[in-house]
Amino acid sequence: MELRSLGRTGLMVSRLALGTMTWGSDTGPDDAAAQLKAFTDAGGTLVDTADVYGGGEAERLLGTLVAESYDRAEVIIASKAVARPDHQRRFDASRGHLLSALDASLRRLRTDYLDLWQLHAWDDRTPLEETLAAVDLAVSSGRVRYAGISNYTGWQVAKAAAWQAAWPGRAPIASAQVEYSLLARGAETELLPACRDAGVGVLPWSPLGRGVLTGKYRNGVPADSRAASSRFDRFVGRFLDDRSAGIVQAVATASDGLGVSPLAVSLVWVRDQPGVVAPVVGARTAEQLLVSLDTEGLSLPPEIISALDDVSSPDQTGS
């Protein structure tokens, strides 16, 4: 798999990242092991997780698999902290919480360092300088190699990156995770330009439009889909509208013409956008993941890209 630089750093990562959000909940140990093997066999290196995925089980499972079957130096582990979904304070980027969360992540992952540690969300209650000072300490102590952010707005990215660049010795912001797909192009207005200006690499999450771009919802809601689940129905439902249906149809037309799957068209469109380092792809099984991995040799013709750009152009709401 082709490697790309993570922002303006020397860290080279695979141009697809393996997401583990369902590990430890919907994805059990055997399927997780099969996914990781398929991913690494294809040349994938960057694996993305978070301290809250599966209530910590995703990290624990990933740590066990890497420790028992892989060379730690060849698996680039990215995790996150800040989110506290079962706490009265949903987002906590205070120094105390961040450093405690980091130590807990390292224990679950059975490693003494993270390749990439990401702030999972913006925290209005904590001064940014306190948050970033904790990040600097994590990097200077050797527990973290590179720092990133997730789900920030454009101005928040610019502020964090500028703060870190203002003094020598601070850990630069290497990456930013953001939802980005043919169905969600709002990031193009401010966030992507801010990232390009600051040299921050973009890691798109949900590059398949929460699964809608695969075409699985064209004829209704499958019983085993996320939209049929009480946990995820609202998560998917925002893209089950007429505008999205038009984009899904355009993707299907392009896939028919190219002889590839709608998933491949949608994923490659995101993967090859300016500033994008690696879309984060997840799956419930290794077989599902292989469909994403099979896109490595695919590139979209300019006329297909132009047509998809036109039909999915963000509307007045920035969707």
103 CB burial (10 A radius; 0-12, 13-18, 19+): exposed
- Residue 182 · residue 215 · CB < 8 Å: no
Of 53, 152, 180, 217, the catalytic one is 53
- Residue 184 · residue 209 · CB < 8 Å: yes
Task: Kindly state the tokens that stand for 106.
Answer: 């390292």
How many CB atoms sit inside 10 A of residue 232's CB? 15
125 CB burial (10 A radius; 0-12, 13-18, 19+): exposed
Please give the backbone phi and psi of residue 205, each rounded to the nearest 5 degrees, phi first.
-105, 155
- Residue 62 · residue 91 · CB < 8 Å: no
Task: Kindly state the tokens that stand for 187.
Answer: 């990031």
53 is catalytic: yes
One-letter amino acid for residue 52 of the chain: V
Task: Kindly state the tokens that stand for 196.
Answer: 């390009």
Compute the radius of gyration of the chain from its Cα atoms.
19
Q: Which residues are known catalytic residues?
A: 53
